[in-house]
Structure 1
Amino acid sequence: MKTLQITDPIVSIDWLAMHLDHPDLVILDASIKKVTSKEDTQKPDIKIKGARFFDLKNSFSDKNTDIPNMLPSPKDFSEACKKLGISSHHKIIIYDTLGIYSSPRVWWMFKTMGHQNVAVLNGGFPAWHNAKLPCEPEIKTEHNYGNFEANYLPDLVADANTILNEIDNKNSLIMDARSHGRFIAKEPEPRESLKGGHIPNSVNLPYTMVLNNNKMKTRTELQEVFKDFNIDNQKLIFTCGSGITACIIMLAAEIAGYYKTSVYDGSWSEWGQLDGVPVQC
């Protein structure tokens, strides 16, 4: 069997169907409930054939902080991957049940941990299921222990100190994926403890602007979206409410051809509760 290589950050359901049984392929279901949704959305009781559940909220988040979804340490990430049967040679495809929502977060996590053979499934489970491609019941499965070892790349991660240092830097651009209403403090934050507004000098790119019917827009369409921001070799720092949708627009940026990028891991969940940091409405 030919060696499997992932050359793009996003793959189609046709690509995955063609390689579904490749021994080097690992499919991860990274589904979570949508943060801003009041609906009691439940994971379906079926999954893509062979998929493993990537528990973003529990196994793959830092439990030593109250800020949601924070990146775990490289050691903890590696250990959780090993328990899922993931090894360093695996090629990883990530999906979620909302089309494209939490899967880009996991894509960014693997890239941050030095794993490059990783991509998001465009359209996620809805596109796969609607095409009547192979699924199976959602049952708990034990996996052979993997040998995954993280090689942490800190340049892909921004923290609050990074943001403070970059706010006035003309060579950096902070892009906020929240809705425009939240960006200008006209809509309430889903977490009541947080202030409204945005990081000064940041720009607003709601993550919905890079999607079309829960699928990522084409490369050409995304280039048009980013062209409006007059990006001239700047480093792009992506933020949102809790570090989830920031990764959607980071994925969109990479597809459009921007590679000097990072994600503010704490995002507004951290910035909106910090004392003494600047906030603009």
Structure 2
Amino acid sequence: MRDPQALISTQELAAIVGRPDLRIYDCTTYLEPSPPGSDDPYVAVPGRHTFEEAHIPGADFLDLQGEFSDPATRLRFMMPAPALLAASFGRHGIGDGTRVVLYGIGTMMWATRFWWMLRSLGFDNVAVLDGGLDKWRAERRPLESGEPGDYLPATFTIKPRPGLFTDSHAVKAALGRPDHVIVNALGPQFHKGLEPSRYGRPGRIPGSVNVSAATLMQPTKELIAPTEAEQKFAAQGITKDKNVIAYCGGGISATIDLFLLHQLGYDNLTLYDGSMGEWARDASLPIETG
């Protein structure tokens, strides 16, 4: 893999818990059904309650929608301004000289989303826990309950890495271009428009290919082997000479695709942050089914 330090096993993490420079974060959010009559695709519920029930010793909790997303838009989980984001990370103890480990419950997508955000700010000393809390629990490793750990605030130095996020205008401009490939990380039933979409019009961005994030994870909640992932991407025409735009419903599960593509050595990677939460509701943007 390109960056062995970007993925950490439960065994490796257990060996370094308690190190003074280590910062561990539960990144879990739950997507609950919207109340009747609501135009929102779901209600984003921070996983603070499950964090307080059980977490890896010393960990803190990161609320993606509440503290690490743009408050000025109705779209969920949109990237805030870099300075605002850096200040939030600094308040939670992430900064120069710290080693960060991110994990989630049920899926790795919340951790990979934070990993992608940190990379966009130029922070690379960060790893995603393979298998998350699910694997940690299954191995009967130590757990704590109660309030988050007390990491001291830190100075987060921004070193912008442009191009990791993109918008609907750039995606529309890429439609039909042979040097681009647009990858949908949603399930095949949503990619084909066979089921109603909670985001609006059913279907996909025209010409996009489907590598569902769910197919990139094992039942243990760990990522599949790199060679297997490479085969899945290659089967959809995703090659290293192309510019890859990944999307999903809200810019979260697509970061699993992007994490693996990065690890496989792909360079030209970007996330369509608005994803179907924006695209499907904008009647001026084309959509495809079948």
TM-score, scaled to structure 2: 0.88
Q: Indicate the SS of the match to 1:89.
A: coil
Aligned mate of 1:222, from 229, 239, 263? 229
Runs in 1 of length 4+ with deviation above 6 angstroms?
Answer: 35-38
Deviation at 1:35, TM superposition (A): 6.3
**Structure 1 141/231 Cα, relative in aligned 2: closer, same or farther at 3 Å?**
closer
Deviation at 1:72, TM superposition (A): 1.1
Q: Deviations over 1:92-130 (max 9, x none)?
A: 110001142311111111111111111210000011112
For 2:30, the aligned partner's letter is K
1:261 correspondence with 2:258: no
Unaligned runs of 5+ in 2: 34-41
Aligned mate of 1:17, from 4, 14, 36? 14
CA contact (8 A) 2:75 2:274 kept: yes
Residue 50 of structure 1: aligned partner: 58
Q: Indicate the SS of the match to 2:50.
A: coil
Q: Indicate the SS of the match to 1:144.
A: coil
Deviation at 1:139, TM superposition (A): 1.0
For 1:10, the aligned partner's letter is L
Deviation at 1:141, TM superposition (A): 4.6
Residue 89 of structure 2: aligned partner: 81
Residue 200 of structure 1: aligned partner: 206
Deviation at 1:142, TM superposition (A): 4.4
1:153 correspondence with 2:161: yes
> Hey, what's the Cα distance between the residues in 1 that align with 2:31 and 2:4?
29
Residue 273 of structure 1: aligned partner: 281
For 2:287, the aligned partner's letter is V
Deviation at 1:34, TM superposition (A): 4.3
> Hey, what's the Cα distance between the residues in 2 that align with 1:111 and 1:146?
17
> Hey, what's the Cα distance between the residues in 2 that align with 1:174 and 1:271?
13
Unaligned runs of 5+ in 1: 1-5
Q: Deviations over 1:128-151 (max 9, x none)?
A: 112122221131454422101222
Q: Deviations over 1:192-242 (max 9, x none)?
A: xx1111111111111111111121001111112112123331111110000
CA contact (8 A) 1:35 1:190 kept: no
Once superposed, what is the RMSD of the aligned Cα atoms?
2.0
Residue 3 of structure 1: aligned partner: none
For 1:28, the aligned partner's letter is Y
For 1:205, the aligned partner's letter is V
Aligned mate of 1:138, from 146, 168, 172? 146
Q: Deviations over 1:123-180 (max 9, x none)?
A: 0001111212222113145442210122222211111111011112211111001111
CA contact (8 A) 2:103 2:132 kept: yes
